Amino acid sequence: MADKAYLEFDGERHEFPVIRGSEDEVGINIKTLRSVTGGAITLDPGFKNTGACESGITFLDGEKGILRYRGYSIEELAEKADFLEVAYLLIFGNLPTKEELKKFGIDIASHSMVDEDVKKILDAFPKAAHPMGVLSSLTSALTAFNPSSVDVSSEEAMYNAIVRILGKMPVLVSWTMRKKMGLPLDYGDTSLGYVENLMTKMFRKPNEEYVINPVILNALDKLLILHADHEQNCSTSTVRIVGSSHAGLFASLSAGISALWGPLHGGANQAVIEMLEAIKEDGGDTKKYMAKAKDKNDPFRLMGFGHRVYKNFDPRARIIKEAADEVLHDLGIEDPILDIAKGLEQEALSDEYFVKRKLYPNVDFYSGIIYRAMGIPIDMFTVMFTLGRLPGWIAQWKEMRLRKEPIGRPRQIYTGENFRPFVALKDRT
């Protein structure tokens, strides 16, 4: 394949170098475009054709439905690793040795206390506040209680900021849920593993012994792994661009949480369950909702379907669908919306509109069914996505800072008014 690209513009021919990734992805490097053309830029709403960076963290092939973290397949990691191992892999680049993993866990656990004054901020929120808004606020507020986390100029300072947030985020997640459910806040038990401790913080009741259900533990660990990173998606790009101004890690993560909240992104896992519930309430008529999804005059979209990159089955959705069957079977739960979801999937896979647009179930289509079986409130589903994505955001932010990437500042094409002189108020009609 060529190692140069050419552009003919305004009677001149310009040459641009072609960069080839380790998985043979090809990018045309247009760093000199504006200078050699006298000011021309590219225009690419939604960045569908634009690479923001080079990265060595996650590789995905949307056509083949491949997803790998640091070269390891998502299928193997979901089956053979635990979430803390995967977090270490994403952030530091290799699977940890026993000693490295043990130290990582101890360092994180040593930061799993949150300043009592953070509770005053939590208390200021109404119970009905959406947990993603609460979590984004509390995450940003953590900077005030951990000012040293902003300076990551040394390897030690970067490491400390990372283990701090990995220790404190599960506390904020559990507090956000317990506040909503009217439960007393819980700090968990640092003698437990990362996900065991998360479950304890979230579900333990003060007046009874809490026994961890291994089926739920295994499913939650797998869900967190499957959500851990996904290259330059909307929220990760947000974390990178906010961090590129050298805003602190916690502030950058808070911005990422806000981006993930949207129903077109991580908020889709909540929207899927709301959609499936609406279909159930409406007599389970999936064909009616398929027609609505295809009707250009109807704003309704089949939530949990379609993806900017995957034009094949999202490999995560395949694993989560199997896990949903296992969890509901093991817990003896008959959830009619799982059957509705499977019915929609079957219909879409043979419907010309969906086939032509290559719209398949994505990571959000089945995940909410498992969260619901775990007893997690529906508006906490995207908070669970946040917890999974946390190590990926951290890894991407760290890569951007260590590579000393420039501040993110896209250009635009101005299409507004040309110059016009000011008109005094008395003269305006």
- Looking at 82, 351, 364, 379, which residue is catalytic? 364
The nearest distance, CB 350 to ligand SDX, in angstroms, is 15
Please name the helix (run of DSSP H) or strand (run of DSSP E) that holds residue 361, with its range, or none.
Answer: none
C-beta nearest to ligand SDX: residue: 306
The nearest distance, CB 68 to ligand SDX, in angstroms, is 14
Whether 364 sits among the annotated catalytic residues: the reply is yes
The nearest distance, CB 106 to ligand SDX, in angstroms, is 30
The nearest distance, CB 89 to ligand SDX, in angstroms, is 17
Contact 246, 405 (CB under 8 A): no
Q: With respect to ligand SDX, which residue has the nearer C-beta, 120 or 357? A: 357
Whether 379 sits among the annotated catalytic residues: the reply is no
The nearest distance, CB 142 to ligand SDX, in angstroms, is 23
Please name the helix (run of DSSP H) or strand (run of DSSP E) that holds residue 271, with its range, or none.
Answer: helix 268-281
Q: Which residue has the tokens 């805003």?
A: 247
What is the side-by-side order of every strand in the sheet holding 58-61?
Answer: 58-61, 66-69, 72-73
Which residues form the interface with ligand SDX (CB under 6 A)?
Answer: 46, 230, 233, 264-266, 268, 293, 301-309, 357, 359, 362-364
The nearest distance, CB 382 to ligand SDX, in angstroms, is 10
Q: How far apart are CA 121 and CA 272, in angstroms?
A: 31
- The encoded tokens of residue 330 equal 């093991």
Bridging pattern class, strands 12-20 and 58-61? unpaired
Q: With respect to ligand SDX, which residue has the nearer C-beta, 203 or 305? A: 305
Environment class of 45 (CB within 10 Å of its CB; exposed 0-12, middle 13-18, buried 19+)? exposed
Pick from 18, 385, 88: which is nearest to 230 by CA?
385
- Would you list the DSSP string of 331-357? TT---HHHHHHHHHHHHHHT-HHHHHT
- Would you list the DSSP string of 70-130? TTEEHHHHHHH--HHHHHHHHHHSSPPPHHHHHHHHHHHHTT----TTHHHHHHTS-TTS-
Q: With respect to ligand SDX, which residue has the nearer C-beta, 143 or 386? A: 386
- Spatial CB neighbours of 70, under 8 Å, sequence gap ≥ 6: 56, 57, 58, 89, 90, 93, 94
Q: With respect to ligand SDX, which residue has the nearer C-beta, 39 or 46? A: 46
Please name the helix (run of DSSP H) or strand (run of DSSP E) that holds residue 4, with its range, or none.
Answer: strand 4-9
Q: With respect to ligand SDX, which residue has the nearer C-beta, 177 or 226? A: 226
Strand partners of residue 26: 20
What is the side-by-side order of every strand in the sheet holding 12-20?
Answer: 4-9, 12-20, 26-28
Q: With respect to ligand SDX, which residue has the nearer C-beta, 51 or 193? A: 51
The nearest distance, CB 69 to ligand SDX, in angstroms, is 12
- Looking at 186, 307, 314, 379, which residue is catalytic? 307
CA 322 to chain centre: 21
Catalytic residues: 307, 364
